[in-house]
């Protein structure tokens, strides 16, 4: 053995090219890629500067302070033609957040209902849910938005012939008019009572779970919480003498005055977004529930746990672990899909800022970068929240 | 001495077999179920007859102009019938439409064998569909060589444009996606960082803004004098966007390959590229075929967005014809036709990918 070792030691050292050393090759390769990327970026940068100069476009964000001079169909904050381009960015952003936020809520509720309906023992209900899912998710979202907007909402009668419900809710081709709640004096106290109710509920649920852990006694947290959140404001509302009036929409001339107008663009977009995403969420919910092994249900049954309690305490918590990651990506899809608003003229950020503002100012690079940054920021925020929730729900192995 | 005689088994009680038992079990098993069944039947009774009357019994099929539709209250399918050529080919010159037909036929010849289990040379046909066929159809559709008159891309439209966009998008995104997926799992920090940034940026923004960028900003990025056609710009945008999604799908496949495979390849003395191309990728890509098909379905639906930058895909052709004042109120018919086209393709593909998933689920189950 020792003989062999000396043999190897005395052999003339074989020369290997340093190019064959994976570490050195890695460094060289990375350096090449870096140089290529920098060159590419520099060329693009130079071209852009040159092209913008020859088209007479000034770079920079100074244009944001210039007056915009165009109106926007629907704004959540005060806005008119005299406001700046910077304000159009905020208006568009808020409209995007509105439709995305409402869309996430509606899609989740409808998706969970449809997903559970697909697993229903009732054959008819299960089949209806299947048809719903298979139809909606195989048709492009843009087509669905067009359908609701151009084929359903546009042919509705005009304001003078609008369909009404009980004389307070009106539907016509300019949207839906609903009564507007106008808070009177002392309505602030009702809101304060509402927040106190929420805090009290959190405190009660903490105390109840602590007590259950120590003594095993249960407490009707849900009923108590509901009482706090709804009851406290209601009592305060009555004490203050019902400080709330309703602004009923009424036909004045050619249009409705008073009340809240929900524009058809928002309705079509929200409806299409929610129903389309709900079809995907339904599939996620279904597969999540199916992923919980049947043994879990049987074990719960053999322990004598009621069916409804089994679903709430055994099946759903485990299914949620499977459901949450794909659900997150559906939420992100919904936010990104809300940019289709531009096709029917709902004033979201793409339509207002990347559309009208870009056309008027020509500041393509800045505007596209700002818009993309908004979507990236929303995506990252949502991912962080859902990852945190996922971690909280995930299996705690000891 | 009595001899044991086997008596025939009793038939199961009536209440557990047959249609009555089925109804009892599936429709009226509990009071709640009964109520839900009744509600569902009532809703269907209210909805289905008017829809069927409109779409089939009262609909107009005969004739070839708007006047034919004024006879009854139902749907006006005559409209779809007369515009079918436009919905399929867009403004592609009538005399040259056979070239599109041949391309459709080639596509069908490549795709149909994939649905059969034991079709001879199935894999080779599929491979040819991804490599040779795009070139052949490209020459056929564009023309300008071999005596075929050139057809400008701005005349392309309808179903043909939708298929071109989605097919080119997927074929071009596949190799880029493979490179990005490998890069994301690379041991070189620089490469990994570049790939992760690329993938996450494209996945974080909506396709619409990518298309806007391709149509507004791409001309700014290029040296002066370089111009692309609108179709090519849209294709570049779609391909970059799609390659990021493709990379994530392929990464899933790479992660599913056991570490032993990588180690075995190294032990055999294979370098990085050879171990990847001979050992890892063939297994990983086979695993993610359902995922690729699902990405394709998403892309197929997303191609409708090109109408926003002014390309005439099938939805845009419908959108352009329903405003024709000669035909009043045919928007529903037009949308239903377009929806049906998309539904047939997407539903077919999703069924295919589900079947494939079940088939592929045998070997790698652990």
Sole residue written with tokens 């559709």: B141
A141 touches chain B (CB under 8 A): yes
In a domain, B344, yes or no: no
Interface of B with A in 241-300 (CB under 8 A): 297
**Cβ-contact A89, A353 below 8 angstroms:** yes
Q: Which residues on chain B are in Cβ contact (under 8 Å) with A330?
A: none
The answer to whether the CB atoms of B220 and A48 lie below 8 A apart is yes
Report how far residue A144's alpha carbon sits from residue A337's, in angstroms, rounded to the nearest whole number: 12
Instruction: Select from A29, A140, A358 the residue whose CB has the most chain B CBs within 10 Å, as the one to mutate to test that interface.
Output: A140
Q: What is the CATH number of the domain that holds B236?
A: 1.10.3720.10
The tokens for B220 are 């700014």
- Helix segments in B217-229, DSSP class H: 218-221
Q: Which residues on chain A are in Cβ contact (under 8 Å) with B205?
A: 336, 372, 375-376
Instruction: Select from B21, B225, B324, B335 the residue whose CB has the most chain A CBs within 10 Å, as the one to mutate to test that interface.
Output: B335
Considering only alpha carbons, which residue of chain B is nearest residue A44?
B221
**Cβ-contact B166, B303 below 8 angstroms:** yes
Is the pTM above the cut of 0.80? yes
The total number of structural domains that make up chain B: 1
Identify the burial level of B2 via C-beta atoms within 10 angstroms of its C-beta, where 0-12 means exposed, 13-18 middle and 19 or more buried: exposed
pLDDT tens track, chain A, 398 positions:
445 555 655 666 666 777 777 788 888 888 898 899 999 889 888 888 888 777 777 777 777 778 777 777 777 777 777 888 888 888 889 999 999 999 999 999 999 999 988 888 888 889 999 999 999 989 999 999 999 988 888 877 777 777 777 777 788 777 788 787 777 777 778 888 888 888 988 998 898 888 888 888 877 888 888 888 888 888 888 887 777 777 777 777 667 777 778 888 899 999 999 999 999 999 999 988 888 888 898 999 899 988 878 888 888 888 888 888 888 888 988 998 998 888 888 888 888 888 888 888 877 788 888 888 898 888 888 878 877 887 777 766 65
DSSP secondary structure, B150-172, as one string: P--GGGB-HHHHHHHHHHHHHHH
In a domain, B109, yes or no: no
**Cβ-contact B209, A339 below 8 angstroms:** yes
Instruction: Select from A22, A122, A308 the residue whose CB has the most chain B CBs within 10 Å, as the one to mutate to test that interface.
Output: A122
> In the CATH hierarchy, which fold is given to the domain comprising A85-158+262-393?
MetI-like fold (1.10.3720)
The answer to whether the CB atoms of A365 and B208 lie below 8 A apart is no
Interface pTM, i.e. ipTM: 0.84
Angle at B270 between CA B265 and CA B274, to 5 degrees: 100
pLDDT tens for B168-213 read: 888 889 899 999 999 888 888 888 888 888 888 888 888 888 888 8
Q: Is the dihedral of CA B64, B65, B67, B69 positive or negative?
A: positive
**Cβ-contact B265, B279 below 8 angstroms:** yes
The tokens for B350 are 């999703």
Contacts of B345 (CB under 8 A, 6+ apart): B300
In a domain, B174, yes or no: yes
Interface of A with B in 121-140 (CB under 8 A): 121-125, 128, 134-135, 137-140
In a domain, B275, yes or no: yes
A334 touches chain B (CB under 8 A): no
In a domain, B264, yes or no: yes
Domain boundaries, chain A: 22-56, 85-158+262-393
In a domain, B251, yes or no: yes
Angle at A20 between CA A18 and CA A26, to 5 degrees: 90
Arithmetic mean of pLDDT, B259-264: 88
Q: What is the CA radius of gyration of chain B?
A: 27
pLDDT tens for B126-176 read: 777 777 888 878 777 777 777 777 777 777 878 888 888 888 888 889 899
Residue A245: which H helix or E strand, with range?
strand A244-247
What is the length of chain B? Answer: 366
Report how far residue A124's alpha carbon sits from residue B44's, in angstroms, rounded to the nearest whole number: 10
- Helix segments in chain A, DSSP class H: 2-10, 22-54, 85-118, 123-136, 141-146, 187-215, 221-226, 232-239, 264-291, 294-302, 307-310, 316-337, 349-351, 358-361, 364-393
Please tell me which of the candidates A50, A143, A337 has its beta carbon nearest to residue B206.
A337
Domain span at B164: 151-314
């Amino acid at each position: 053995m020792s003989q062999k070792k000396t043999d190897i030691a005395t052999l003339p050292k074989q020369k290997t090219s340093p190019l064959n050393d994976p570490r050195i090759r890695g460094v060289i390769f990375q350096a090449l890629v870096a140089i290529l990327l920098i060159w590419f970026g520099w060329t693009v940068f130079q071209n852009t500067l040159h092209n913008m100069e020859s088209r007479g476009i000034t770079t920079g964000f100074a244009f944001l302070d210039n007056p915009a001079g165009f109106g926007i169909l629907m704004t959540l904050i005060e806005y008119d033609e005299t406001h700046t381009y910077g304000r159009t960015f905020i208006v568009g952003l808020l409209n995007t957040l509105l439709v995305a936020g409402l869309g996430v809520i509606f899609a989740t509720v409808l998706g969970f209902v449809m997903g559970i309906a697909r697993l229903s023992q009732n054959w008819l209900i299960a089949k209806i849910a299947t048809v719903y899912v298979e139809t909606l998710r195989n048709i492009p979202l843009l087509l669905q938005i067009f359908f609701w907007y151009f084929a359903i909402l546009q042919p509705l009668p005009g304001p003078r012939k609008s369909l009404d419900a009980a004389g307070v809710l009106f539907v016509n081709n300019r949207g839906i008019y609903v009564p507007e709640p106008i808070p009177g004096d002392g309505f602030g106290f009702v809101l304060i009572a509402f927040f106190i109710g929420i805090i009290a509920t959190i405190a009660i649920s903490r105390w109840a779970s602590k007590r259950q852990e120590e003594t095993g006694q249960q407490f009707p947290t849900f009923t108590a919480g509901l009482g706090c959140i709804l009851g406290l404001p209601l009592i305060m509302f009555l004490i203050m003498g019902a400080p709330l009036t309703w602004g009923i929409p009424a036909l004045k001339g050619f249009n409705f005055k008073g009340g809240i107008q929900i524009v058809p663009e928002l309705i079509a977009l929200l409806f299409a977004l929610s129903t389309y995403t709900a079809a995907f969420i339904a599939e996620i919910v279904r597969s999540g529930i199916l992923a919980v092994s049947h043994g879990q249900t049987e074990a719960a049954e053999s322990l004598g746990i009621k069916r409804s309690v089994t679903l709430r305490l055994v099946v759903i918590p485990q299914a949620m672990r499977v459901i949450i990651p794909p659900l997150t990506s559906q939420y992100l899809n919904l936010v990104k899909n809300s940019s289709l608003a531009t096709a029917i003229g709902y004033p979201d950020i793409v339509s207002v800022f990347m559309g009208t503002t870009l056309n008027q100012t020509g500041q393509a690079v800045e505007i596209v970068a700002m818009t993309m940054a908004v979507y990236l920021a929303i995506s990252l925020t949502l991912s962080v929240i859902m990852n945190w929730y996922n971690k909280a729900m995930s299996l705690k192995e000891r | 001495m009595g001899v044991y005689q086997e008596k025939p088994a009793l038939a199961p009680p009536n209440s557990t077999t047959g249609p009555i038992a089925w109804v009892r079990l599936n429709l009226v098993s509990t009071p709640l179920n009964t109520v839900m069944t009744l509600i569902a039947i009532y809703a269907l009774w209210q909805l289905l007859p008017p829809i069927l009357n409109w779409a089939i019994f009262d609909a107009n099929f005969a004739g070839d102009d708007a006047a034919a539709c004024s006879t009854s209250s139902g749907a006006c399918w005559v409209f779809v019938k007369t515009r079918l050529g436009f919905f399929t080919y867009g403004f592609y010159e009538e005399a040259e439409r056979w070239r599109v037909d041949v391309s459709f036929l080639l596509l069908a010849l490549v795709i149909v064998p994939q649905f059969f289990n034991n079709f001879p040379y199935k894999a080779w046909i599929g491979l040819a569909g991804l490599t040779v066929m795009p070139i052949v159809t490209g020459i056929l559709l564009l023309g300008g060589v071999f005596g075929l008159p050139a057809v400008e891309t701005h005349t392309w439209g309808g179903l043909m444009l939708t298929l071109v966009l989605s097919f080119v998008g997927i074929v071009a995104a596949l190799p880029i996606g493979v490179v990005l997926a490998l890069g994301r799992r690379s041991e070189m920090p620089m490469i990994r960082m570049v790939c992760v940034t690329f993938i996450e940026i494209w996945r974080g923004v909506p396709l619409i803004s990518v298309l806007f960028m391709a149509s507004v900003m791409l001309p700014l990025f290029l040296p002066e004098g370089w111009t692309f056609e609108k179709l090519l710009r849209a294709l570049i945008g779609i391909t970059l966007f799609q390659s990021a999604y493709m990379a994530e799908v392929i990464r899933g496949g790479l992660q599913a390959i056991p570490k032993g495979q990588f180690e075995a390849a190294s032990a055999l003395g294979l370098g990085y590229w050879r171990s990847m191309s001979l050992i890892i990728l063939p297994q990983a890509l086979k695993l993610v075929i359902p995922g690729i098909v699902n990405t394709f379905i998403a892309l197929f639906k997303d191609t409708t967005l090109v109408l926003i930058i002014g390309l005439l895909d099938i939805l845009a052709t419908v959108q352009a014809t329903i405003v024709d004042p000669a035909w009043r109120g045919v928007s529903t018919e037009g949308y239903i036709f377009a929806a049906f086209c998309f539904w047939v393709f997407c539903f077919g593909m999703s069924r295919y990918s589900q079947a494939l998933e079940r088939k592929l689920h045998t070997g790698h189950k652990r």
